[in-house]
Structure 1
Amino acid sequence: MRETKDGKASKRFGKDRRTFPIEKYNSRADRRTSQNGAMMFSAFVFVAAFCAVVAVELLLMGEPSVWGFVVATLVALLATMSIHIALQWEKVVVLRLGKFHRTKGPGIYFTIPFIEQIALCADQRVMLTGFAAEETLTSDLVPINVDAVLFWMVWDAEKAALEVENYYNSVSLVAQTALRDAIGRASASEVAVRRNQLDAELQEVIEEKTSEWGITILSVEIRDIVIPESLQEAMSAEAQAEREKNARMVLAEVEKDISSMLVEAAEQYQGNDVALRLRTMHLLYESVKGSGGTVVIPSAYSEGFSDGSLEKMIESLKAQGK
């Protein structure tokens, strides 16, 4: 039993089960840690500019003053607003007077304070987004839970900044919508069996929409599919019945082939008494060899083992050979 967002318990799926922890696998939660280097660089620029202005004031005036500290602070702020650093995996979109001007990074880049603004600092590493479709109806009206993960990356920072407001949330919503649509077009058994086809279909649909935002989809992987417990037994019985049906069909085909071969053998033995007697002797020999002892046979069959009978058989076979 799991708790919904309303605080109410949902018992539709029988077993106690928590939904897929999407937030745990989303890359966005750890993106702030990648900005530590840039923040330290900005702090270094501020301190260096402040100290440089104070040092110049001391050389010129001989002693510090309040106005000197004010000027040093203003210069340090302007330096911080002008000198930036982009990490190896970042691409920065710079606007000039509200219009797109250029993309910069990685490394050091400069901007004009109050004239140029940083619109987006795009992370171009492979991103991971978890998404789910909870209690979504399939084409045969079966409510199922499907959890999946999406691997994607930003290949065009300009489009990611100018074509969509929040590309990260947009990718997540598009993926969830595509998953629900794909589930609604397939039956419950098809969703459970055709995972690879569903992955490929989702990747194609999601990338068709996100490519306009400068985002490429690397792969989509279905992680978990949960079917209501009440339907699992019915689907299991259906699968067993289908396997039994296939087994009976295979057995019928084998019986058909065996009967055809027996009919052909009967036609061969019907026109050749010697071949029939030889087959009878062969069967008796196999019986004795398999049992490891002796076999009691009627006298009519034992006549076939006498010397006279064997000579007659040989002469008959030679005559047929001529």
Structure 2
Amino acid sequence: MAQPLLKTEDLKKYYKTPYGDLHAVDGVNLSINEGETLGIVGESGCGKSTLGRTILRLIEPTSGEVLYKGENILNYNAAKMRALCKEMQIIFQDPFSSLNPRMTISEIIAEPLKVHKVFKNSADLNKKVFELMDVVELAERLVNTYPHELDGGRRQRIGIARALALDPKFIVCDEPVSALDVSVQAQILNLMMDLQDRMGLTYIFITHNLSVVKHISDEIMVMYMGVCIERAPAKELFSNPQHYYTKALLSAIPVADLSYRKKKREILKGEVSNPINPGLGCRFAARCLNAEAGCTDKDIPLKEISPNHFVACIRFM
């Protein structure tokens, strides 16, 4: 079996607060094969963006391992991490705040090439910038425009071009279409999938939109309060969800069909548990209709209930 391109082992990120440690990411294990997409979903505040940035070491983890091509990059010094940046990039959520308003499109796309001193002369640099603009379908006439002069879709294409500038192998996509109109979302998603096929890219795709993640992902991981509660191939997760939280998320997907008005929806009730020093047990127990007495007695690890389908629920222990 081929070694995964990227793998995390018991990855944790805690934030110190006056009341204790806030468990933003708490013992996440994942693996991604080269050329595939892992979708990460969950409600706001579940830790999915923190997980993506921790993997890239934009945020330093509290503990655990991030294995890239079999090596733990958390042991890398600054020089090795700088070199690794050429292979690991990120596309940010907000295509406006992630771009420098004082720089033109060409300057923004060229910045990583200048930082890593990829080209020795401006002619080669400019040629590469135009190539990247063509790849993400940006017209050459926009080369000297500023971000505020463009719409959200074009701004996000700039962010994608910047991420591709150093020919990376792995990209964290942190909700790259959530700030865009629906029609533009489809264009950006199709562009990203086309780039993946052409360049052999590997994605972590972070989103709260389950319709989007189904469209792009090979495998999906569902997070709740810093932990993974279910992970499965995309088709399997949608056809056979096992965790009550996953079922509730899927039932909330809007469907443009009046016959679905009679479809039963799983309505979540109860209080969200405290992420500060959460203690033992399932963090979803207070909101779960299937909760039992043993749900809060001990931590419940992921268990493989069918090939590549993992669930953290006491019903499968």
Q: Name the TM-score class by shorter chain.
A: under 0.3
Q: What's the TM-score once normalised by structure 1's chain length?
A: 0.22
Larger gyration radius, structure 1 or structure 2: 1
Q: What's the TM-score once normalised by structure 2's chain length?
A: 0.22
> Between Structure 1 and Structure 2, which shows a larger proportion of helix residues?
1
Report which structure shows greater RCO (CA 8 Å, sep ≥6).
Answer: 2
